[in-house]
Amino acid sequence: MTGFLIGAALLVALTLLLLIAPLVRRRAAGAEASRRAINAGIYRDQLAELERDFAAGGLDRPDYEESRRELQRRLLEDAAGEEAAAPHGQPARKSALFIGLSLPIAAALIYFSLGNLPALTPEGAKPPKFTAQQIEEMVAKLAERMEQDPQADPKGWVMLARSYKAMGRYEEATRAFGKAGKLVDEDPHLLSEHAEALALATGGSLRGRPSELLARALKLDPDFPDALVLAGTAAYEREDFAAAAAHWERLLKRLPPESEDAQSLAESIKKARAAAQKQTRKKPAGKP
């Protein structure tokens, strides 16, 4: 919550800076290029031109005097207008102050009225909890939608398969993985999940089809961890202890040496290597 409020405060401050700065600078900019200075220059030019015309004989003295008085009158009127406009700097500052105070207050009032204040708390950030019945209903609705158009959404089948797997409904999970087709066949992660669901659906054995899926997964990614674990387990199950140790050793190279997983895997490799050596000693001479 604190991080959100700090970020919101920074955004408000930046917004205020962008809004208020032009109002505060308005009077300074006017001072640098005031209308009085500009108009004075214009009138000087006009007066000089008037004098040149009079000196050249283009104007007689009455016209010259009349035109000169008119220029002076206009200059005085503009100067008076400049003085009357000068106090506008103060309203600009008042506007800046008003915006600076009202904008954060208005934002806070709107949020507290319409916003989701509990979502700012750590508890509010937690995902909603569903009952077992609600989960069953959501999965049933997904299954119904997928059955209506089986070819439309392979990702939907994967989602359904994972849901069934998490619920312990392994046979249904296996069928859903199978309907995802190419999406599963080209993804080592999904192939490994499919193999595991098949094994669990048949009493935990990785023989046969699960081993084929794992072989395909390792062909796509020889270092994929889940496939290496399960392929090693499948090899151990069929008493190919050397292959089991090879799969697990490949995985061990990818684990932090001091991690608990690495230590546990090293123990399994040690047992597989010992079983492989024992197996080799039992083979009759001359047989592979």
Instruction: List the structure tokens of 215.
Output: 């072989």
4 closest CA partner among 110, 122, 85:
122
pLDDT value of position 265: 94
| Dist. CA 67–CA 81, nearest whole Å | 21
DSSP letters spanning 50-91: HHHHHHTTSS-HHHHHHHHHHHHHHHHHHHHHHHHHGGGHHH
Higher pLDDT, 88 or 221: 221
| Dist. CA 242–CA 275, nearest whole Å | 8
Q: Is the predicted pLDDT of residue 250 greater than 60, yes or no?
A: yes
232 closest CA partner among 197, 186, 267:
267
Domain boundaries, the chain: 2-120, 132-282
Instruction: List the structure tokens of 51.
Output: 């004098």
- What is the arithmetic mean of pLDDT over 166-178? 94
**pLDDT tens by residue, 91-121:** 555 555 554 545 555 555 445 444 554 554 5
pLDDT value of position 107: 53
Alpha helices by DSSP H, listed for 59-205, are 61-85, 89-114, 132-148, 154-166, 170-179, 182-185, 188-201
Entry pTM: 0.56
**Length of the chain as a residue count:** 288
Does residue 12 contact residue 107 with C-beta atoms inside 8 Å? yes
CATH topology of domain 132-282: 1.25.40
pLDDT value of position 70: 72
